[in-house]
Structure 1
Amino acid sequence: MSFSSHVLDSVSGTPAERMRLRLHRLAGEVYEEVASGVTDSDGRLKGWELREGRYRLEFATGEYWQAKGFNTFHPEVTVTFTVDDDAAHYHVPLLVSPFAYTTYRGS
């Protein structure tokens, strides 16, 4: 299974470039980090391979907003999701501002 993410900055209306993401997979009762990366100039991160299981994707929103000179309510955004289809592509987009965010399962 392949994975991608796309982060958009709703303050500027542009891609959220250089946001750090970390991916953790549930192993027993604890989550273990399996990948990390930074969004590209289009706010995208892609190329991670996943297997079935439960994951936590952490977006370092606090670092991102601090670098832009904003205070933020959310120091990070964590999206927990389940991978259950070997043939599917998993896409997790994030629309962010300093005080709000939204996400969904993309395609």
Structure 2
Amino acid sequence: MAAAAESSPLSTHVLNTADGVPAARMALSLHRLDSKLMIWNMLNVGTTNEDGRCPGLITRETFTPGMYKMRFETGSYWQTLGQTSFYPYVEVVFTISDPVQKFHIPLLMSLFSYSTYRGS
């Protein structure tokens, strides 16, 4: 698994900014848009580790140009902490034109807000 994680061209890191900790044990999924049928195909599912990261989301061989989305199950995460979030989930949609590059999608979240950006 470590070799797959190191070679993955796509990574994420989720931070619980309300408590100042990584968002551990959050479910997420990765999808790619079928541009002909205009439907999302699920590629992989995962759960963040204790550091809020989910390594090995996709292999370099299957990472092709196109539109992708990462769906973070934020509502379920907050429920496990005994709290209610305004957002039941967060979807981050992004376009990959050069799959040779490395892409990092961080999610910074609290109960009532979130932000993301393209990291390196």
| Cross-structure match for 2:5 | none
- Matched letter for residue 45 of structure 1: C
1:45-100 per-residue CA deviation (whole Å, 9 max, x = no partner) reads 12222221101110000000010011110000000001111320111000010110
SS at match of 2:85: coil
| Cross-structure match for 2:101 | 88
Q: Unmatched 5+ residue regions in structure 2?
A: 1-7
| Cross-structure match for 1:56 | 69
Q: Tell me the C-alpha RMSD between the 2 structures.
A: 1.0
SS at match of 1:78: strand
Bigger fraction of residues in strand: 1
For 1:3 and 1:57, the matched residues in 2 are separated by 11
Q: Unmatched 5+ residue regions in structure 1?
A: none
Q: Percent identity?
A: 45
For 1:76 and 1:35, the matched residues in 2 are separated by 17
Q: How many residues align?
A: 107
- Matched letter for residue 77 of structure 1: V
For 2:77 and 2:64, the matched residues in 1 are separated by 29
Task: Compute the TM-score of the two structures, normalised by the length of structure 1.
Answer: 0.95
